[in-house]
Amino acid sequence: MATTYALPKFSFKVSFGDTEFNCTEVSGLDFENEKIEYRAGADSEFHKTKQPGMFKYNDITIKRGTFVDKSKEFYTQWVKTVYFQEGEEQYRGDLTVSLLDEKGEPAVTWVGSNAYITKVQSTDLKADGNEIAIETAVFVIEKLILQ
């Protein structure tokens, strides 16, 4: 009988539209179904019934290292199209996050549909620090699909 193990979370890939990029952390891959509580006025029991309501999706936060050429490309292409809506590029797209198995193949994939960047945060600068420079991007999504 073969033993199965849980997947490690350190092997993943992220892509937005046609662009694939490396990152150090992805968070916000969750959704919830908001409940609807209701009690009719003529009910003989004194409690509310609970029913499923609308789905709620969190923003997806991506952190990645700051690179000389790649960071400039990130800011000039994506931020200009989202904030200033310049050019003919589509600023919305599918944000795909794939958790990879030991062969490097996608085992679990999350697709955030109609995603766009709502916040970009540059790294903190410290003269006495020795960490790498990390930049953060926050994506808003309309729907999260688990594949």
41-63 pLDDT, tens per residue? 887 888 888 999 999 999 999 99
The two structure tokens encoding residue 137: 């991007």
The pTM of this model reads 0.81
- Whether residue 126 lies inside any domain: the answer is yes
Helix (H) or strand (E) holding 71: helix 68-73
If one counts the domains in the chain, the total is: 1
Q: State the CB neighbour count (10 A cutoff) for residue 62.
A: 21
Q: What is the mean pLDDT of the chain?
A: 84
In the predicted structure, residue 27 carries a pLDDT above the cut 90: yes
DSSP at 44: S
- CATH number of the domain encompassing residue 138: 2.30.110.20
What is the distance between the alpha carbons of residues 32 and 30, in angstroms, rounded to a whole number?
Answer: 7
In the predicted structure, residue 74 carries a pLDDT above the cut 70: no
Q: In a 3-state reduction of DSSP, which class is residue 138?
A: strand
23: domain range? 12-35+51-146
User: Can you name the residues that pair with 15 across neighbouring β-strands?
Assistant: 20, 96
Q: In a 3-state reduction of DSSP, which class is residue 93?
A: strand
| Residues in Cβ contact with 47 at an 8 Å cutoff, skipping those fewer than 6 apart | 39
